[in-house]
Every structure is written in C-alpha cells, then in structure tokens.
Chains A and B, each alone.
Chain A
Amino acid sequence: MTESFCGYSGDRDEALIGFLYDDVTGEPAGRALFETHLETCARCQDEIAALRVVRKQLARWSPPEPGFAVTSRQAAVAGPQVGQPSWWREIPAWAQVAAALLFLGVSAGLANLDVRYDRNGLSVRTGWLKTPSQPGLATAISAVPIAPAAVAPSGGPAEPWRADLAVLERQLKAELRAMQLSAATIAARPQPVRATADADVLRRARALLDESEKRQQRELALRVAEVMRDVNLQRQADLVKIDRYVGAVESKVGVEVLKNRQKMNQMDILYRTSQRQ
C-alpha cells in the first residue's frame, strides 16, 4: 500500500467518494479541484483504483431469486409478461412438424414443383406451365441444382396462356380445398397421439416414482436398523455402568455395615465389662 503523503486541501474523503461515483451534488468546483489534485497524488490514485475494484466486486452481489408471494397473486392480473413463451410454444412438437410439412406440401403444390429422376439425372422444375417437350429446358441437377422456372412460350397462335390460366385457377382452388381438409383432419386427430404420449409420460413418471419410493424405503430401513443398533449399544453400555455403580455402592454399604457391627460389638463388650465391675 502506498503510504505517500496526500496534500489535498479540502475534505479528501468526500471529494474522493464524489469522484468515485461521479456524483458532484452541490459542489462541481470541488470535483475540478480534486481532479487537478488527482493528477499528481499517487495515494489518491491508488485508493480510487482499489475502491473501483471493490465496486466491481460489489456488483457481483445479487440477492437470491425471490418466490414472491405478492406477485404470484398479481400475475393473473398483469397478463402476459415480456419474455414469456409465445403461444405457439405450447403446441406439441408433432403438431408443429405436421404443420411445417403441410406448409411445405402446399408450397410445393402452389409452386407446381416437379421432381423427376430419369436417365438424365435428377431434375427439379417449377412453374405453372406445362413441361415443355424439349428436354433442354429442364436442366439436370448435376449441371445446375435447380432449374429456373420454365419459360412460358410467348406469342402462341391461340393465346395458350388463357387455357393455362384456367388450369391454374382450378388447381389453386383444388389445393386450397385440400389444404382446408388437411388442416381440419389435423385439428381433429391430435387426441389419440397426445393421449399416447401422455400415457407414455405417465408410465415413465410412475416408474420413476416407484423406483424413488423403493429407494427411500430401503434408506429408511437402513436408518432404522442403524438407530436400533445404536440404541442397543448405548443400552448395554448403560447397563454395564449401572452394574458397576451398584456394585460400588453395595461394597461401600457392606464396609459401613461391617464397621458399624464392629463398633456395636466393642460397645457391647465395654457395656458388659462396666456392668461386671
């Protein structure tokens, strides 16, 4: 620790603490004075540095998470909080996957995706128009991964796009119907799947509970046996002590009785002797 002299003219402690917290309530001039002083005072520099370390350590002290009795009551009133899981997280994973597959299927259908694997290799086409007969328009995936949308033949003699448009409209309607049907089917179906999953979870939970219960019973039996053994040992030790104590008392009493008898005999002899005289 630096024991160098500090010649600050004002109240050093107050100025130092004001500087440390950057709080110069009521004395901005004092701060300027202290800052000037600080440039040349090694002792104050050391102290500021050390107190900054203390502040860093203090910052790591956080109270334990409270299980608030007050807010638990309020939670219902307050409604959803920031950071709470979104509604969709509550949907089971299988339903999310099904929805994703449905979405992909519908998207593929809407995009009129055509995946073909033939002697030319794997080819992927997209677009609403009929596949052109020329194989050149569909690019094999080995050359280009995904072929661009088929180019509509322009300027046909009988405006073929009208027919295509009608076909597209029909197809779109059919797919929308199919999508609605699939959604309705999924909505109606989750019960058995969920029931199976629930039963499985329930079975596992029961197995765990049974196992835990057995373990606790074993531990309890072990503890009871230990306690019984300890009690027996203690009882035996106590009995031995009592025996010893009683023996000692008895021997003491016996000695006293003998002494008393001797005294009484002596007194008896003395009495008789005195009567004879």
Chain B
Amino acid sequence: MTWTDEELVARSISGDSDSFNELVLRWERPIYALAYRTIGREEDARDVCQETFLRAFRALPGFRGQAKFSSWLYRIALNLCRDWMRRERRAQVVQPPEDVDLLELAAAAEPSESIEDLVARKDLTRLVERAMALLPAEQRTAIVLKEYHGLTFQEIAELVGCPLSTVKTRLYQGLIVLRRELAKNTKATL
C-alpha cells in the first residue's frame, strides 16, 4: 500500500521511524536537485539535502499540515540554500560594485578562458549550468522551481513569499538572460 505524504508524516509524528525513512526516500532526489540547481555545487547540495531532512525531522512535531509536506520541505531547503549563498557572498574577497553588470564581466572574460573551459563549454549541460550561475538567486530559484519541479506560479509565490506577478517577472527576466547567454555560448562553441 502506498501512503500519502501526509499519512507518512502523521505516522512519523506518532513515532514510526520507517515512515520518515519513506519520506526521505521519496523526496531526497528532488531536494538534492533543487539544492544543486540553486547553489551549483554537488558537495554543498548534498549537505543542504541532509540538513533539510534533519531539520524537517526535528520540526516534524510542529508541522500542522497548513501546507503540503513537499512545499514545507522545499521551503526548508530554499532557506538553507539562501543561508549558504549569504555565507558564500560574505566569504568572497572582492565584491562587485552595485553598478557593475556581472554578465558584462563574464562576456569580457571569455577570451582568456582556459582550454578546459573551452572543452567544457561544448557540453550543453555545462553551458546551462554556467548560464544559470549568472542569474540572480531569485530568478534562478523561480526558474528551478517552475522548470524542474513543476510548481505553479501560485505555489512558487507562496514558497518564496512574493506576489504572483513578481514570480512571473523573475521567470521572464531569467529566461531572457538565459536565452542571451546560451545563444552567445552556443555560437562561440561552433
């Protein structure tokens, strides 16, 4: 018999650890994928994934089912990703000034890229990964949640805590940047 997430949550709260294991098995990959696509580093994504389930386990007794379990889990993971990104930004030696466009910088840096970078650019996966890394965190999160997790605009808005129209705008702007970056890099590799 297949239990729903909510049933498994209820069983976990009442002390059935196998039910929580089942939830982990069910949601581990989506959470890892979300973390990886948001922060772009495998090791850190794995850490975020584990931490997400750890926090979820601790906070499970307080989960009242106001939202879907998956949304609740996504929110924990996104918060952890945001914390991670903040930490990383603080650790950066040089902060780009407010008025500097990172995309312009990236474009200017292209001629000096290494052979390895050149080879890696032939792989579309890498291209997408790099283009995604150029996006502001909000746009990237919106695209990841919509594109890879199939959430509705409404669900994304609730998850990240912003108006519906903002979600759409972030998505549109993000896609436009990706379009430009992917077109530029694809031409360069031909």
Contacts and interface: CB of A to CB of B under 8 A. Distances in A.
Q: A and B: real partners?
A: yes
Interface of A: 11, 13-14, 16-18, 20-21, 23, 25-26, 50-51, 53-55, 57-64, 66-71, 74, 77-78
B36 A25 contact: no
A70 B53 contact: yes
Interface in B35-62: 36-37, 42, 45-46, 49-50, 53
Contacts of B77: none
B151 to A, nearest CB: 9
A264 B29 CA distance: 89
A59 B178 CA distance: 13
B10 interface: no
Interface in B123-180: 124-125, 127-129, 132, 143, 146-148, 152-154, 164-165, 168-169, 171-173, 175, 178-179
Contacts of A74: 21, 24-25
Given A64-B36, A68-B32, A70-B50, A21 B154 contact: no
Given A18-B168, A58-B128, A71 B28 contact: yes
A11 B165 contact: yes
A23 B152 contact: yes
Interface residues of B, number: 41
B86 to A, nearest CB: 22
Contacts of B124: 57, 60-61
Interface of B: 18, 21-22, 24-25, 28-29, 32-33, 36-37, 42, 45-46, 49-50, 53, 124-125, 127-129, 132, 143, 146-148, 152-154, 164-165, 168-169, 171-173, 175, 178-179, 182
Contacts of B154: 25-26
23 contacts: A13-B168, A13-B173, A14-B168, A17-B168, A23-B152, A26-B154, A51-B175, A51-B179, A55-B175, A57-B124, A58-B143, A58-B148, A58-B178, A60-B125, A60-B128, A61-B125, A68-B32, A68-B46, A68-B49, A74-B21, A77-B21, A78-B21, A78-B25
A196 to B, nearest CB: 41
A190 B153 CA distance: 62
Contact of A66 (B18, B22, B42, B173): B42
A158 B125 CA distance: 83
B55 to A, nearest CB: 13
B32 A66 contact: yes
B45 A66 contact: yes
B142 to A, nearest CB: 10
B22 A54 contact: no
Given A11-B165, A57-B182, A68-B28, A16 B172 contact: yes
Contacts of B128: 57-58, 60-61
B19 to A, nearest CB: 11
B172 A25 contact: no
Closest 3 CB pairs of A and B: A63-B36, A61-B128, A14-B168
